[in-house]
């Protein structure tokens, strides 16, 4: 047990719990719980998006991929960054003008509300649960390393603490924890980067040479050698990361927390710049760990340099902090990393709870006849239920790399949510049947191929060979979803189809001008 690090960690948790208590006094309605009442500014929301998106996969996963794979890790960083300009120019403004709480609000705007809400809620919950696995695995390994307790108890403790954040504080607490965490994480990353450069007398070429010398692939690690060995698999991963962002419900939900479309665009602008810088820092720190950690055998299991590192495959950056800054820097990075996970898990839980309470319960089951007190009660019960499921998933997937797991969540988001969301906003000929058919095909094909892929079929189920040879199905499942949406919509001659198409002009006016946004409730 690292006493100094634990004290810093405990102090940070106490501060965030204080924020949660403060936020609880400002969470009086469903709107406050889901979207902070729409009172977050563009700059604040941009920083909160950074906090939401810079998850355990970003901090722990990408740095550990850079540590183990070298240059190949850049595909995660570059492709995840490239999706944001698309969101700025195609999605953010329309999303804010058409939506209220969830992605279902946009998809069901002119389509059949009951059926589209059911599908969108199910697909959003699927993405949320896959993404939750990432956070719980990272949190469990981090707390296990910090406190020296069993992984099982670590995951349970994280899950219970996360429920407190969401159930008590809602979106207000989640937003401010994300903002504070983003600032501290960027600050810690810059400090670590400067210390790593100082270790090599600010000579980057010496750092890179040491990393290559310590890596199993040698000089080959400076170029694509593993993740891009199969072009189809690499391209499918890239497509997942670029387009999957727009299908992540907890990220898209953030655009409902700002007062207008201008603030939504500003959110993306702020988030894009900060995340671009952070991705560069994270990849650099992974290479730094590769260059420096072999000089410290104590960070490896049984002291065997080149073998697995202590605490699991996602922990190299934590050991780098200890090597460069001692227990103080390790404690700071551990506290920020834990806050990262709690904030992202809180956002995911809110997104999942909104799909259950707002879409399925209030809109579908109760036909929008729900009192405010009943809505808040269902919100909190749904949050607790998702928290329990997150604990179970964290225990089942404990040995998986978190950056790899998040790519699977992106695959499903890009295959199920993104095609339906984009077409509902831009294609006037979209029909309810087309949206449901395409979305279901994208979701089912992506899920089936993920299960049959090496990631699950071999590494989880321990079969000898995979049925589907690639880890990421998006190159197949996402185009297939678009094709099915178009074909079924064009063949649909039902009365409902005519009604769907007739509603597009009014939707487009609302999406472009926000006229009626204060009076329309859907």
For 316-338, the pLDDT digits (tens) are 998 999 999 988 888 888 777 77
Two tokens, residue 54: 């810079």
Closest to 466 in 3D by CA, of 454, 476, 455? 454
pLDDT, mean of residues 126-145: 80
- 253 class by beta-carbon count within 10 Å (0-12 exposed, 13-18 middle, 19+ buried): buried
Confidence band (pLDDT; 50, 70, 90) for 2? low
For 165-212, the pLDDT digits (tens) are 777 777 888 888 888 888 888 888 999 999 999 999 999 999 999 999
Two tokens, residue 103: 């992605």
Q: What is the pLDDT of residue 152?
A: 87
Task: Return the C-alpha torsion angle 415, 420, 426, 432, nearest 10.
Answer: 150
- Report d(CA 420, CA 437) in Å as an integer: 10
**Neighbour count for residue 413 (Cβ, 10 Å):** 33
Which carries the bigger pLDDT value, residue 38 or residue 435? 435
Closest to 32 in 3D by CA, of 178, 172, 162, 191? 172
Are 456 and 465 in contact, with CB atoms under 8 Å apart?
A: no
For 234-276, the pLDDT digits (tens) are 888 889 889 998 898 888 888 888 988 889 889 999 998 888 8
Which residues make Cβ contacts (< 8 Å) with residue 316, sequence separation at least 6? 63, 64, 67, 286, 289, 290, 293, 309
CATH number of the 3-34+42-415 domain: 1.20.1730.10
pLDDT, mean over the chain: 85
pLDDT, mean of residues 77-83: 82
- Report d(CA 266, CA 92) in Å as an integer: 9
Partners of 300 in beta bridges: 309
- Report d(CA 280, CA 393) in Å as an integer: 30
Report the percent of the chain where pLDDT is more than 90. Answer: 29
For 106-118, the pLDDT digits (tens) are 999 999 999 999 9
Confidence (pTM): 0.84
Two tokens, residue 332: 């700071």
Two tokens, residue 386: 């998702």
pLDDT, mean of residues 89-111: 88
Q: What is the DSSP code (8-state) at residue 309?
A: B
Two tokens, residue 78: 């570059």
H-type helices in 25-91, by residue range? 30-35, 42-53, 56, 63-69, 74-86
């Amino acid at each position: 047990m690292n006493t100094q690090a634990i004290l810093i960690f405990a102090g940070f948790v106490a501060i965030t719990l204080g924020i949660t208590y403060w936020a609880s006094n400002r969470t009086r309605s469903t709107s406050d719980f889901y979207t902070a009442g729409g009172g977050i500014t563009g700059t604040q929301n941009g920083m909160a998006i950074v906090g939401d998106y810079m998850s355990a996969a970003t901090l722990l996963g990408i740095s550990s991929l850079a540590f183990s794979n070298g240059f190949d890790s850049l595909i995660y960083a570059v492709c995840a960054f490239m999706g944001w300009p698309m969101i700025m120019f195609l999605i953010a403004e329309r999303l804010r003008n058409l939506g209220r709480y969830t992605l279902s609000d946009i998809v069901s705007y002119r389509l059949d509300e009951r059926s589209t809400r059911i599908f969108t809620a199910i697909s959003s919950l699927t993405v949320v649960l896959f993404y939750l696995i990432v956070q719980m695995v990272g949190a469990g390994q981090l707390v296990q390393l910090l406190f020296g307790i069993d992984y099982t108890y670590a995951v349970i403790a994280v899950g219970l603490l996360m429920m407190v954040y969401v159930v008590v504080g809602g979106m207000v607490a989640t937003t401010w924890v994300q903002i504070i965490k983003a600032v501290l994480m960027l600050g810690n990353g810059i400090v670590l980067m400067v210390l790593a450069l100082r270790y090599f007398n600010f000579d980057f070429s010496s750092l890179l040479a040491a990393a290559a010398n310590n890596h199993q692939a040698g000089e080959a690690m400076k170029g694509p050698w593993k993740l891009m060995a199969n072009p189809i698999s690499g391209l499918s991963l890239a497509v997942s990361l670029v387009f999957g962002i727009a299908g992540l419900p907890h990220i898209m939900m953030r655009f409902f927390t700002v007062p207008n479309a201008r603030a939504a665009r500003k959110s993306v602008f702020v988030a894009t710049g900060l995340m671009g810088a952070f991705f560069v820092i994270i990849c650099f720190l992974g290479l730094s760990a590769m260059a420096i950690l072999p000089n410290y055998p104590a960070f490896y299991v049984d002291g065997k340099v080149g073998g697995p590192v202590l605490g699991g495959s996602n922990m190299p950056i934590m050991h780098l902090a200890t090597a460069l800054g001692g227990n103080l820097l390790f404690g700071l990075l551990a506290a920020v990393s834990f806050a990262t996970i709690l904030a992202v898990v809180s956002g995911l839980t809110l997104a999942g709870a909104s799909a259950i309470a707002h879409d399925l319960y209030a809109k579908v089951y109760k036909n929008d006849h729900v009192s405010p007190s009943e809505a808040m009660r269902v919100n909190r019960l749904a949050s607790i239920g998702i928290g329990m499921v997150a604990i179970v998933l964290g225990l089942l997937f404990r040995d998986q790399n978190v950056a790899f797991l998040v790519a699977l969540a992106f695959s499903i988001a890009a295959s199920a949510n993104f095609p339906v969301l984009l077409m509902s906003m831009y294609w006037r000929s979209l029909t309810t049947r087309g949206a449901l058919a395409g979305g279901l095909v994208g979701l089912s094909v992506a899920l089936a191929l993920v299960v049959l892929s090496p990631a699950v079929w071999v590494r989880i189920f321990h079969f000898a060979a995979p049925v589907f040879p690639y880890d990421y199905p998006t190159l197949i499942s996402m185009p297939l979803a678009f094709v099915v949406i178009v074909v079924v919509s064009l063949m649909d001659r039902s009365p409902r189809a005519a009604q769907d198409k007739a509603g597009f002009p009014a939707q487009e006016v609302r999406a472009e001008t926000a006229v009626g946004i204060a009076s329309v409730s859907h």
